[in-house]
Amino acid sequence: MKQIVLFRLSLLLLSLFFSSLQAKDKYLDNHSCNECHEKIYEEYQSSMHSKSYFDDELHRKIANAADKDKYACATCHMPMANNLKALISGESRPDKSNKTHTDAVSCYFCHTIAYVKTAHKFNINTKARQAKGFKPTLYGRLDKPDDSDKHSSVSNPVYAKKVCMGCHSHKLNDNNTTIFRAMGEDQDSISCINCHMPELAGGAEKMDKRARGRHASHKFLGIHDKEFRKTGMDINVTTAELKLTITLKNKMTHPLIVQPARAKFLKIEINRAEKIIWKNYKKDPSEDKKGYFAYSFKQDGKDVIIPAHSTASSVNNVYANSCKVLSYAVPALQKGDEVHVALYVQLAKSDCAKVISLEESNLTESSLMKEVIFIQN
């Protein structure tokens, strides 16, 4: 009897031992990084990468409108899902109690990308194989990184070269229609990192034993940040008789429009003695075709808003590192006339609001990106 109990006990211990070994192969969730990478964790929490299907209203509603059963968007929006295939095929649905779902573009996912393969519909992030029974190896760009008791660290050139391109470069739907094309296939990610992950004070890790003193910001500021979004474009205004010329210069290494739900547009007003004497549109900014930047989609010849099944697409854009010159016929300008040129963004363009109901008003309201005022002399 005693022997049986002992045998049972040793079996239990043995299985505990093995399951603890297996536990090390398990996914390390975002929150587990907080123990040592406090600052980075906090920054990341405020970034769009931490927003999942559950807390990004715009993404969720478009995803559900595109396909109420299959969540094919998971490849880029929920890439760490432990049942990715089932989500894509529609056998399973996003689950709020599953950390690999709520973690969205997770720390562990980004830091285990071994390389990025170029492909036709969208690129493929290839993950590093983790050795069973050992702590995971996380890749980054630190010079001679220390190991920790939770993970090994290895420098990998991918973290300057292709790391952003796995998700941000292009996407085609099943009809081979371009949903977005934001970057060239041979473009390195170092420019993205320089603008979107600037160095901030404080070591990469809490103890900062190596006295690095700085770390790459994980806020990934973008179009949602008021100050940051001023910096992407230059707006230049010149006038001649009966003509207003606006030059838009895109300083970013991606187009102005990289997201099919967005609209960015110009609002131009000429003021004389505090009265508006001219505007580039009456009611809706899309009346001014050249000053309205957005994607548009067609399905079998008809306009559609949700691009999932569209058969053709077009876009009015200002491409990476390039200029666009727009001219407008205006009334003769007098000394002291003020020309107000403002660039606005609508996170979800008006058309979107017609097919999905959005509760967060900041999604459909227009927000200012940048404004310049020119005074005629």
Q: Calculate the CA 327 to chain-centre distance.
A: 32
- Among residues 8 and 226, whose Cβ is nearest to ligand HEC? 226
* CA triple 110-178-158, angle to 5 deg: 25
- Among residues 271 and 364, whose Cβ is nearest to ligand HEC? 364
Reference 294, options 345, 253, 248; nearest CA is: 345
Q: Given candidates 87, 183, 266, 268, which one binds ligand HEC under the rule CB under 6 A?
A: 183
How far apart are CB 178 and ligand HEC at their closest, in Å?
12
- The token duo for 350 is 């008006």
Per rule CB under 6 A, is residue 62 in the interface with ligand HEC?
yes
* Interface positions, 326-345, toward ligand HEC (CB under 6 A): none
- Among residues 254 and 267, whose Cβ is nearest to ligand HEC? 254
Q: Given candidates 244, 258, 305, 356, which one binds ligand HEC under the rule CB under 6 A?
A: 258
- Among residues 198 and 336, whose Cβ is nearest to ligand HEC? 198
Which residue is it, tokens 């029974």? 133
How far apart are CB 350 and ligand HEC at their closest, in Å?
15
Measuring CA to CA, how many Å separate 362 from each of 166, 224, 230?
A: 29, 10, 18
- Give the per-residue contact string, 200-229, with ligand HEC (x = CB under 6 A; - = no): ----xx----x-x--xx-x-x-xxx---xx
* Interface positions, 275-314, toward ligand HEC (CB under 6 A): 308
Question: Torsion-angle region of residue 213: left (phi > 0), alpha (psi -120 to 50) or beta?
Answer: left
Q: Given candidates 25, 38, 91, 146, which one binds ligand HEC under the rule CB under 6 A?
A: 146
Q: Given candidates 108, 265, 293, 297, which one binds ligand HEC under the rule CB under 6 A?
A: 108
Q: Given candidates 83, 87, 94, 138, which one binds ligand HEC under the rule CB under 6 A?
A: 138
Residue 273: how many CB atoms within 10 A of its CB? Answer: 9
Per rule CB under 6 A, is residue 93 in the interface with ligand HEC?
no
In whole angstroms, what is the distance from residue 185 CA to residue 170 CA? 9
Half-sphere exposure of 88 (CA within 13 A, CB side): 14
Q: Given candidates 81, 87, 244, 256, which one binds ligand HEC under the rule CB under 6 A?
A: 256
Q: Given candidates 81, 87, 192, 266, which one binds ligand HEC under the rule CB under 6 A?
A: 192
- The token duo for 104 is 């969205």
- Among residues 179 and 268, whose Cβ is nearest to ligand HEC? 179
Stretch that binds ligand HEC, among 183-191, 241-249, 274-282, 285-293 (CB under 6 A): 183-191
- The token duo for 278 is 């001219």
In whole angstroms, what is the distance from residue 93 CA to residue 217 CA? 33
Reference 139, options 201, 131, 202, 147; nearest CA is: 147
Residue nearest to ligand HEC (CB): 222
* Interface positions, 225-254, toward ligand HEC (CB under 6 A): 228-229, 231-232, 251-254
Residue 314: how many CB atoms within 10 A of its CB? Answer: 11
- Among residues 171 and 270, whose Cβ is nearest to ligand HEC? 171
Contact 210, 347 (CB under 8 A): no
Q: Given candidates 81, 87, 167, 266, which one binds ligand HEC under the rule CB under 6 A?
A: 167
Stretch that binds ligand HEC, among 29-37, 94-102, 271-279, 322-330 (CB under 6 A): 29-37
By CB under 6 A, how many residues form the interface with ligand HEC?
89
Reference 371, options 336, 337, 345; nearest CA is: 345
Q: Calculate the CA 52 to chain-centre distance.
A: 12
In whole angstroms, what is the distance from residue 93 CA to residue 11 CA? 37
Residue 320: how many CB atoms within 10 A of its CB? Answer: 18
Stretch that binds ligand HEC, among 43-51, 239-247, 271-279, 326-334 (CB under 6 A): 43-51
Per rule CB under 6 A, is residue 98 in the interface with ligand HEC?
no
Reference 337, options 195, 231, 235, 242; nearest CA is: 242
Q: Given candidates 83, 102, 259, 310, which one binds ligand HEC under the rule CB under 6 A?
A: 259
